[in-house]
A and B are shown apart, each in its own frame.
Chain A
């Protein structure tokens, strides 16, 4: 009836060890604190129990003690804080060379698009040993991408991209959950992450015959007519898009912003929200006309434009993100 009952989640990413270490540290420290307090309560309750001839001894308090038990816990807390913050920064700052997987969440499923063009629903295949960066958005409400075995979680918001990344270390099939309540089938919005040995992964990959995402984007780019304004030379009515990813852009109203994923997304959906300096706001909005998947392909394409062979700009496919040391 009951399957095996583990009491600890699998440890399948580089982050899992860090998180578990901190967790165990917290368990030990707070376990000791709890024990200390339990023991004191029980000991006092027994030792000073009410009995004939025994009187309470009035004690007003002690400043020295008050200070001790504020300052010592405070320093312990700062360790909790610092360690936690350190892990958080690692969790939140994806490495430069991470492979990218575009993710669209909707009530109640997960859609993944690899840069190579593979599409998956509720299942995500990744190889061991690569950094994988999830670029995620939602079509409707807030969801949350949660893989306990990776100790990773990130809310997926409508209207913008959020990012999560991980580095799988152990082959296996792991739970993927939606962790933010999102309506009726919230608990049905589950799936799995399959971590494979690189060669199995290659085999799985080869099966598809898919078009890489950026190629799909390129096709869309001409189908939707983007190409008429955004030409490779500087003669178009719109700015040339080559190499703009992650570069600063000067806007018409004098501000400067970085052309990150969210900026590209907004530029396509709400072109007038941030107009590029020196251009007319003639670009039509594509909101409601293209799906989130198409949008992702366009963004992936724009990012791939003008990317140097060794370059740091564009998004990477999992295959291209192979670490040098492998």
Chain B
């Protein structure tokens, strides 16, 4: 089993995309979108994080399904924590 070696070009490309994403986050934050400011900011962050995970952390090239399972379950657990507890906070005044 030989490890996948990504090309230099790809790395630089991802790097530039990430930098652009950062600038974009700052710029978009100044445009009034109401609650969507947060949505946009977090979406950009998620795209950036996904790029890092897939390319810098090589998840795209691993044959190991397990890595994906580990990441996804950690995110699901985070979602459990946030969603179920917000079920309390959001309905306390009802």
Contact = CB atoms under 8 A, between A and B. Distances in A.
Contacts of B93: 257-258, 260
Give the interface size bracket for B toward A: under 10
Give the secondary structure class of A's interface: strand
A260 B92 CA distance: 13
A260 B94 CA distance: 11
Interface string A232-274: 0000000000000000000000000110100000000000000
B13 to A, nearest CB: 43
Interface in B47-94: 93
B94 to A, nearest CB: 10
Interface in B12-43: none
A258 B94 CA distance: 10
A260 B93 CA distance: 9
Contacts of A257: 93
Nearest to A258: B93
Interface in A259-311: 260
Nearest to A263: B93
A31 B74 CA distance: 40
A152 B83 CA distance: 29
B43 to A, nearest CB: 24
A142 to B, nearest CB: 16
B47 to A, nearest CB: 31
A25 B93 CA distance: 33
B51 to A, nearest CB: 36
Contacts of A260: 93
A257 B93 CA distance: 9
Contacts of A258: 93
A258 B93 CA distance: 9
A160 to B, nearest CB: 10
A155 to B, nearest CB: 14
B34 to A, nearest CB: 10
A31 B46 CA distance: 52
A258 B92 CA distance: 12
B42 to A, nearest CB: 22
3 contacts: A257-B93, A258-B93, A260-B93
Interface of A: 257-258, 260
Cβ-closest 3 pairs across A and B: A258-B93, A257-B93, A260-B93
